[in-house]
Structure 1
Amino acid sequence: MTTLTELYEARVAEGRLKPDEAQRAVLPALERIRAALAEPVKRGFFRRAPEPPKGLYLWGGVGRGKSMLMDLFVESLTVPARRVHFHAFMQEVQTRIHELRKEGVEDPIKPVAKEISDSVRLLAYDEMQITDITDAMIVGRLFERLFDAGVVVVTTSNRVPDDLYKDGLNRQLFLPFIALLKERMEVRELASDKDHRQDRLSGAQVYFAPADSAARAGIDALWSELTPGQEETLTLHVKGREIELPRYYNGVARASFFTLCGKALGPADYLKLAESVRVLILEDIPRLSRQNFNEARRFVTLIDALYEARVRLIASAAAEPEYLYVEGSGSFEFERTASRLREMQAADWGT
């Protein structure tokens, strides 16, 4: 069987990956799990199932290649596995728990965990982060049952385990989950000094005007570079409401101006978005005026949230920033937004 290091080096030789010593350093930790899961399970009445290998919690800064290594690892597996964004997984779990409660199940976490453990031997989570009190209260009991059932967990995160749900409500109730992670998973840092995502955008055009077919082609090329043929829906939960971004992968979201500014969204929604993504592709920003004042006001709020969170912005628009909003109430105040749009085009923005 080809090892993960051999797969990695083959991709480097093909030019599909850029070599990175920090990435190479964590490959043995993933190979340990791959090799253990590849061992045949000997059957027999008196034979006990082998102890599952310890999982892996891989953390590090954005753009370091954690998700790429996860994809490489999952691709190499020969056992039932599922790779899923952690946020999407917890949404599924909450939905299933709600369904079972409606059916009268008193403790739905137990059957939910069994459904999961019956279907996979390994769960690969991308971008583990806990910001929601509901997730925080569920995740400990759920993971304990998954671990006890022999499910191996590999996850990536931008935070060390001790920083999960930092400053969250009733965080003391969450601390046993952090201890469980550190007990059942090897914690490794991907300590690369390279931000490969920024490298891919360095020197690239990130603001396209006008929003024509050439702009669309340019944005499509960047989307392909940042999301290698994979995407999913990201659902944000804000004060009991749901905001769906149908095109999302590994911290990169793509949406139209109308999706984010043509609907009745507010500061809390945009703050949640800025917290949840590292790159936003925003398409088809129109000229702004008194005719679409509400949309313009939301756009200003959105840019402020992205700016403060240092989210990388890729955009197509009807005009250059200074000419987007030239008349009507609010045009003077828009000068700050235009300045921020210019600043956010810098090659080192978001670093």
Structure 2
Amino acid sequence: MHVRDGLATHLTVAQRYDHLVETGAVKRDSAQERVVKELDLLIDRIQDKRMARKSRALGWLFGKGKKTSDPIMGLYIHGEVGRGKSMLMDMFFDIVPARAKRRVHFNDFMANVHDRISRHRQALKDGKTMETDPIPPVAAALAEEAWVLCFDEFTVTDIADAMILSRLFSALFEHGVVLIATSNVDPEHLYRDGLNRGLFLPFIKLLKEHVKVLNLVADTDYRMEKLNRLPVYMTPLSPETDQMMDEAWDSVVDGGKVAEDHVEVMGRKILVPRASRNAARFTFAELCEAPLAARDYLALTQRYSTLFIDHVPVMDLPQRNAAKRFILLIDAMYEAKTRIFVSAGARPEALYLATTGVESFEFARTVSRLTEMQSREWADQSAAAAITAG
């Protein structure tokens, strides 16, 4: 282990990546290795700038101050979900020799920015500041807190964000902030089809002037490989099963922001208690004991490529209405090739006990489909359908 200027520098991103390959945690991938090389080069530039800052501080102390060095070009790494972008970002963030650094989900960062802007405007209203424009002081405070900014899941969907990004990041870059971001989209497609997108285009130009854009086109979807090793039908219901569902959910979400969502159907809004990107999670009661119909389930499968269903009970004739909805739900998921994760009170063939009524006959189809949806072939079909839909 080596220590340089009080900071541990015993590993480069390349060394840490090689260690993961050697231990079998990941497979070596040439596309990932190209990104690893760029991350290590960026670490070197950040270290050089850090040392230059210290030299300038000493120079000022002895009357030998120098001009500020040129800004550092950051990185914008984009590619499909599951290509290892977040993993590489984590390795970079752990190693980069900067004390004033921050790794944050982009949406959380922007929510914090809007909070700061609101507080500044309130301070102006209260006469506590004479600065009418909140962007410069907010940017200055952010840059003081962290001059190396790592954003996971860089995306722009909110018009309020879109309208301030150009001015905000112009100010951040002027303060010497270095940006490293991962995203699922090319910078040119940010805020695509957004309202008043023309006003957003200067930000794209600014961004490309301050980051090197890398497309991570990996051969393997590593997140999908991990998911394919997870059970998708978990029984019986127990705390252990709940934990397995939570672990599967965490793998699917992959660090993404989880929030409440709504899907509109025929003027009505279906509450989605937990959603992240193209995945949603419900309890059986929320999906099948609520007054939902086939068109509602179709809308959900059109919106989400993966659905989690917690706590499917063993049903009998008194639960025939819920069983009917469950049949409709599985039919919709089957037709849409939706990926499923479910915790249930019994295996599919033992979920519905009634031997009379149309549901008893129809549930045989549900059993067959639930069995098929547990296969590796189904997971591959689901992944292909999700990519096509996206």
Whether the 8 Å CA contact 2:330–2:369 is kept in 1: the answer is no
3-state secondary structure, aligned to 2:167: helix
Whether the 8 Å CA contact 1:226–1:252 is kept in 2: the answer is no
Counterpart of 1:3, as a letter, is: T
Structure-1 residue corresponding to 2:133: 107
> Deviation of residue 55 (structure 1)?
0.8
Instruction: Give the direction of change, closer, same or farther, for the CA distance of 1:233–1:141 in structure 2 (3 Å limit).
Output: same
CA distance in 2, matches of 1:252, 1:174: 25
**How do 1:122-201 residues align onto structure 2 when only pairs under 5 Å count?**
122-201=148-227
Q: Do residues 76 (structure 1) and 102 (structure 2) align?
A: no
Instruction: Give the direction of change, closer, same or farther, for the CA distance of 1:200–1:263 in structure 2 (3 Å limit).
Output: same
Structure-1 residue corresponding to 2:129: none
3-state secondary structure, aligned to 2:230: coil
Given the alignment, which residue of 116, 119, 122 partners 1:96?
Answer: 116
> Deviation of residue 5 (structure 1)?
1.0
3-state secondary structure, aligned to 1:93: helix
CA distance in 2, matches of 1:285, 1:329: 20
Instruction: Report 1 or 2 for greater relative contact order, CA contacts < 8 Å, sequence distance ≥ 6.
Output: 1
Deviations 1:267-314 (A, max 9, x none): 99x989987x876654334568998989x9799789969986x77442
CA distance in 2, matches of 1:153, 1:52: 11
CA distance in 2, matches of 1:126, 1:203: 25
CA distance in 2, matches of 1:186, 1:303: 46
CA distance in 2, matches of 1:120, 1:100: 20
**How do 1:245-324 residues align onto structure 2 when only pairs under 5 Å count?**
245=274, 257=283, 281-286=308-313, 312-318=339-345, 323=351
**% of aligned pairs identical?**
36
Aligned length: 342
CA distance in 2, matches of 1:6, 1:78: 16
Whether the 8 Å CA contact 2:320–2:359 is kept in 1: the answer is no
CA distance in 2, matches of 1:297, 1:282: 13
CA distance in 1, matches of 2:134, 2:358: 53
CA distance in 1, matches of 2:302, 2:102: 27
Instruction: Give the direction of change, closer, same or farther, for the CA distance of 1:258–1:141 in structure 2 (3 Å limit).
Output: farther
Moved more, 123-132 or 98-107: 98-107
Gaps of 5+ in 2: 1-8, 126-131, 264-268, 385-390
TM-score by length of 1: 0.76
CA distance in 2, matches of 1:320, 1:186: 51
3-state secondary structure, aligned to 2:66: coil
Whether the 8 Å CA contact 2:29–2:219 is kept in 1: the answer is no
Counterpart of 2:379, as a letter, is: A
Instruction: Give the direction of change, closer, same or farther, for the CA distance of 1:329–1:219 in structure 2 (3 Å limit).
Output: same
Whether the 8 Å CA contact 1:66–1:156 is kept in 2: the answer is yes
Structure-2 residue corresponding to 1:12: 21
> Deviation of residue 120 (structure 1)?
0.5
CA distance in 1, matches of 2:305, 2:180: 22
> Deviation of residue 200 (structure 1)?
1.0
Whether the 8 Å CA contact 2:313–2:344 is kept in 1: the answer is yes
Instruction: Give the direction of change, closer, same or farther, for the CA distance of 1:112–1:75 in structure 2 (3 Å limit).
Output: same
Structure exhibiting the larger radius of gyration computed from Cα positions: 2
> Deviation of residue 102 (structure 1)?
3.1
Instruction: Give the direction of change, closer, same or farther, for the CA distance of 1:224–1:90 in structure 2 (3 Å limit).
Output: closer
Q: Do residues 59 (structure 1) and 78 (structure 2) align?
A: yes
Instruction: Give the direction of change, closer, same or farther, for the CA distance of 1:184–1:233 in structure 2 (3 Å limit).
Output: closer
CA distance in 2, matches of 1:107, 1:328: 69
Counterpart of 1:125, as a letter, is: F
Answer 1 or 2: which has greater helix percent. Answer: 2
> Deviation of residue 129 (structure 1)?
1.3
TM-score by length of 2: 0.70
CA distance in 2, matches of 1:153, 1:25: 18
Deviations 1:223-247 (A, max 9, x none): 576689xx686345779x99885x9
> Deviation of residue 193 (structure 1)?
2.0
Whether the 8 Å CA contact 1:23–1:190 is kept in 2: the answer is yes
CA distance in 1, matches of 2:359, 2:118: 44
Instruction: Give the direction of change, closer, same or farther, for the CA distance of 1:9–1:339 in structure 2 (3 Å limit).
Output: same
Whether the 8 Å CA contact 1:274–1:305 is kept in 2: the answer is no
CA distance in 1, matches of 2:341, 2:228: 12
Gaps of 5+ in 1: none
Whether the 8 Å CA contact 1:282–1:314 is kept in 2: the answer is yes
Whether the 8 Å CA contact 1:122–1:152 is kept in 2: the answer is yes
